[in-house]
Amino acid sequence: LGFACDEGVKRNQGRTGAAGAPDVLRKALANLASHDGHNRLVDLGNIVAQAPDLEGAQQALRNAVQRCQQENMRTFVLGGGHETAFAHGAGVLDAFPQAKVGIVNFDAHLDLRKAEQATSGTPFRQLAPLCDEQQREFHYACIGVSRAANTQAPWAEAQRLGVTVVEDLHCDTAQAQLAQFIANLDVIYL
């Protein structure tokens, strides 16, 4: 699924251009050699976010992911900015209401910003209250976090939420921490 969206990045005062990413990424991936199993891949096109309606586009992506997951299709979303993570994660949570779902993010940023509206810096902070609404635990691990890329506020939020954090300077411990994190989970959103 493509998520052609600049609105989350724009709201986060970032550089726009992410809306063109799904088609650029498809073009780049098309040049890779194909081996066994690629006949299972299905391109479901792009969900296009019409500014300023990020929330409407996120809901459309969330619904598409939920439907795919319920049909036993793995989903791979080509963004857009990191605002794709909320919609993709919410769709996975919706598809598996009884499962222990874990979220694994490889990123220098925690993306736990507090903001008045959704941005590319808020997706995991948005997923935490969704887990509360669904009466489930919030299981989030962020691997490769940089002290230089996050203010104190997201660090405090990560601690409050019990996030598993592996800093970029300590990735040598990531495999063991990740194994411990996923040991008791049913589904993983990566």
CA–CA distance, 113 with 150 (Å, rounded to integer): 9
Position 40 scores a pLDDT of 79
Segment holding 26, helix H or strand E: helix 21-29
SS (H, E, C) 90-157: HHHHHHCCCCCEEEEEECCCCCCCCCCCCCCCCHHHHHHHHHHHCCCCCEEEEEEECHHHCCHHHHHH
Rg of the chain on CA atoms, in Å: 16
Position 150 scores a pLDDT of 97
Position 28 scores a pLDDT of 93
Average pLDDT score over the chain: 95
Q: Per-residue confidence at 35, pLDDT binned at 50, 70, 90?
A: confident
Position 107 scores a pLDDT of 97
pTM, two decimals, is 0.94
Instruction: Convert the pLDDT of each residue in 114-171 to its tens digit.
Output: 999 999 999 999 999 999 999 999 999 999 999 999 999 999 999 999 999 999 999 9
CA–CA distance, 148 with 114 (Å, rounded to integer): 18
Position 180 scores a pLDDT of 97
CA–CA distance, 38 with 40 (Å, rounded to integer): 5
CA–CA distance, 179 with 7 (Å, rounded to integer): 35
CA–CA distance, 148 with 110 (Å, rounded to integer): 11
Phi, psi of 89, rounded to the nearest 5 degrees: -60, -40
pLDDT of 39 higher than 80? no
CA–CA distance, 127 with 139 (Å, rounded to integer): 10
Q: Which CATH class is domain 2-189?
A: alpha beta
CA–CA distance, 59 with 182 (Å, rounded to integer): 27
Instruction: Convert the pLDDT of each residue in 70-115 to its tens digit.
Output: 999 999 999 988 999 999 999 999 999 999 999 999 999 999 999 9
Share of the chain above pLDDT 70, in %: 100
Position 138 scores a pLDDT of 98
pLDDT of 37 higher than 80? no
First to last CA, the chain: 15
